[in-house]
Structure 1
Amino acid sequence: MRSAWGLVMGGAAALVWGECLNRRWSRTLVGNGAGASEAVVVLGYRNPRAAINVINRWRVRAGLRSIASDKARDTRVIFSGGATGSGPAEAQLMADYAKSVLKFGGHVLIEDQSRTTWENVTNVIPLLEGVDRIKIASQPAHALKARAYLHRQRPDLAKRLVVADDYRPGEWAVLKPLLALYGLWTLRGLQAEERKVSL
């Protein structure tokens, strides 16, 4: 009985830990920017086949729900990611999914050359010029990494970063401890100042 109770408590602790870390990452390196225009950057995930995978489908949904309701007409959604196999680029797959399945009719831009997160950020910078607010949508650890890279490459644009709607309590709950472990590994290269929670 004690071992079963210990397993339950350990599992609950892991779920809470995963939720807390993912929430923390979603609110790091963002501000409370204001303005009439915004860009939502949706980062792609390895998609070697011709059909969009489940992670990219989720990232598209997270990106679209990140559009501020009062800014819908002034928002550009930027899908970023190159081809990882013989199929189409991740960005194109995500844009097609947003338009054909989710019926998104807003302003879409495609960046289809990137193969790494650093390249994602580098290649979308020209598409971010002139917007007042920038949101980066992905799994929280990945989005934080991209925000840190924007701070390194263009600190002036990084001042316009605001929180995206890519963290929701309970969403992916069972996987969040694993995502947190993976996130800790992928974020190991960030500096201390790049880990400070902003909100």
Structure 2
Amino acid sequence: MRRRAGLVMAGVVALAWGEWLNRRWSRTLVGNGWGASGAGPGTGTEAVVVLGFRNPQPTANVINRWRVRAGMRSITAGDGARETRLIFSGGAIGSGAAEARLMADYAKSELGYDGTVLLEDRSATTWENIENVIPLIEDVDRIKIVSQPAHALKARAYLRRQRPDLAQRLVNAADYRSGEWMLVKPLLALYGLWTLRGLDADERRGSL
């Protein structure tokens, strides 16, 4: 009985730790929502950049489908935003279709999205994701990067390294929700710690 109680407690702690760490990552290296032109939160122009996950099959896989949904729920609601562009970023694996194209097809055909969609279909790494979308986001007031929280944080850090002026426009995306993916969040947290090992301490802390 005591051993079972200990295992239950360890499981609860692991779940809480995974939830907390993913939440913290989702709020790191983002601003307060005021755009480059002085547009307040909910107004002005925005770019929602959805990063692709390796996808050798001919349709969007479960990870990319989730990222598309997270990107769509990250779009500012209401009439305040003059323009939102949904940008899918990711190249092809082998001779298959580009991740960006598969995600766009899913957004349009399965989810019925009819807003502005742009594709960046050449990148093979997170660094290239950011490098290649920069021309598509230079003129917007706010930038949201969508992926699993650790991956999105890594991408925001890369934007800060490549274009610190644009990093000042980063705001929260809706790629973290309490309780979502809860059972696997401890594994995502462990993997995230490994993927973020190359970031500087101030990048992990989140001072823009």
The two structures have a TM-score, normalised by structure 2, of 0.93
Q: In structure 1, the residue corresponding to 2:57 is in which secondary structure?
A: coil
Q: In structure 1, the residue corresponding to 2:96 is in which secondary structure?
A: coil
Q: Is 1:54 paired with 2:62?
A: yes
- 1:24-173 correspondence to structure 2 within 5 Å: 24-34=24-34, 35=39, 36-70=44-78, 71=80, 74-173=83-182
1:80-123: CA deviations, max 9, x gaps? 00001321000000000000000001000000000000000000
Verify the 8 A CA contact 1:91 1:111 in the aligned structure 2.
yes
Verify the 8 A CA contact 1:49 1:85 in the aligned structure 2.
no
- Number of equivalences: 199
- Give 5+ residue unaligned stretches, structure 1: none
Q: Distance in 2 between matches of 1:2 and 1:84?
A: 50
Q: Distance in 2 between matches of 1:73 and 1:45?
A: 30
More helix by share: 1
Counterpart residue number, 1:21: 21
Q: Distance in 2 between matches of 1:8 and 1:83?
A: 43
Q: In structure 1, the residue corresponding to 2:165 is in which secondary structure?
A: helix
- Give 5+ residue unaligned stretches, structure 2: none
Shift of 1:33: 2.6
Across the aligned residues of Structure 1 and Structure 2, the Cα RMSD in angstroms comes to 1.3
The two structures have a TM-score, normalised by structure 1, of 0.97
Give me the identity figure in percent. 74
